[in-house]
Amino acid sequence: MTAEHRWAWGGSVFQRTVAEKVSCTGIGLHSGSPVELTLHPARAGTGVIFERTDLGVPVEVPAASESVTATLNATTLGRAGTSVGTVEHLLAALYGLGIDNVRVEVHGPEIPVMDGSAAPFVFLVRQAGIFEQDAPRRVLRVRSPLEIRDGKKRIRVEPARTLRVSYAVDFAHPCIGRQSLRGLELVNGSFEAELARARTFGFLHEVEALWRAGLARGGSLENTIVLDEVGVMNPEGLRWGDEFVRHKVLDLVGDLALLGMPVQGHVIVERGGHALHQRMVGELARRAMAWSEPASVADSYAEPISYGALRTATA
Ligand code: ZN
């Protein structure tokens, strides 16, 4: 097998799937129980489909903005009374690696939390390999600015050649305060380098309240950065000084993945969260027909990046 050079999604005009099936097991954040997850190759045009395999009859839930049923703490998708929770970090990894089509089998009501970041899912996709399919990809090109405000919270998109993100958070905590990332371009491996390893975070008083309510039973210092009044409780510390805002951008990428195609636009967020992200995703989804177009080589980036050996898809 030879190492093939494949372009980051910003440069690929073809759809992609995983080259073969791949599985992992982790703990569900809310249940605290082990959950098995398997990614299967899927035909071009399928999109990302979740399938609950722990029920009598398998139920499919498409990763689409109309499937969103809850945005509190995490993004939950549902259809016909069945739901799949904590989907956003897996979706962010798929989007960040340019995977359009995959069937995600999950043996339980939520995607395993792993280490609280998207890095274990990136590793999983890398293990499977990436297969480029003989089908053109469409992109959602932002044609005019859109903005949603909710008090001090704000999300805006503007036309841009690639997906760019500017994000600011402001928490009254000595370890966070105001953190911002400006104009981060999601091309050529920047998702893996800059965002994938950023972990989810919570404040000790919130985490304790969730535990008292019987929620987040799988939550621990193994998968969440926990902040007490003075600092970070995790003995290993932070992966970046601004890991908090990086995780917010990771969450945004996972939420944008529900559009089912790469977005070309500059997304600017202040004090965002899943609920605000999803309001913008809903607005973009309503314009998806009018604003989508075939991905073109003109949008490509000259810098190829290696995706390792290209294998034959098994489905
Ligand atoms: Zn998150």
| Model pLDDT for residues 2-47, shown as the tens digit of each residue | 233 344 444 578 999 999 999 999 999 888 999 999 999 999 999 9
pLDDT score at 150: 95
pTM of the full structure: 0.90
| Model pLDDT for residues 227-237, shown as the tens digit of each residue | 999 999 999 99
How far does the centroid of ligand 1 lie from the alpha carbon of residue 54, in Å? 24
How far does the centroid of ligand 1 lie from the alpha carbon of residue 137, in Å? 27
Dist. CA 129–CA 21, nearest whole Å: 9
Which residues surround the ion ligand 1 when the cut-off is CB under 5 Å?
Answer: 200, 251
For 3-309, CATH gives 3.30.1700.10
Helix (H, G, I), strand (E, B) or coil at 285: helix
Do the bridges between strand 146-150 and strand 153-158 make them parallel or antiparallel, or are there none, so unpaired? antiparallel
pLDDT band at 169 (very low <50, low <70, confident <90, very high): very high
Q: Please give the residue that has the higher pLDDT: either 140 or 306.
A: 140
Catalytic residue among 40, 89, 266, 274: 274
Please indicate whether residue 277 is annotated as part of the active site: no
Q: Please give the residue that has the higher pLDDT: either 207 or 63.
A: 63
Task: Please report the DSSP string for 43-107 in residue order.
Answer: -TT--EEEEE-SSSS-EEEE-SGGGEEE-SSS-EEEETTEEEB--HHHHHHHHHTT--BEEEEES
Are 227 and 50 in contact by the 8 Å Cβ rule? The answer is no
Residue range 129-141: average pLDDT?
Answer: 93
| Model pLDDT for residues 260-295, shown as the tens digit of each residue | 999 999 999 999 999 999 999 999 999 999 999 998
How far does the centroid of ligand 1 lie from the alpha carbon of residue 250, in Å? 7
Q: Which residue has the tokens 């899912």?
A: 121
How far does the centroid of ligand 1 lie from the alpha carbon of residue 245, in Å? 11
How far does the centroid of ligand 1 lie from the alpha carbon of residue 56, in Å? 30
Task: Please report the DSSP string for 108-126 in residue order.
Answer: SSB---TTSSSHHHHHHHH
Average pLDDT, the chain: 88
Q: What are the structure tokens assigned to 128, written together? A: 């499977």
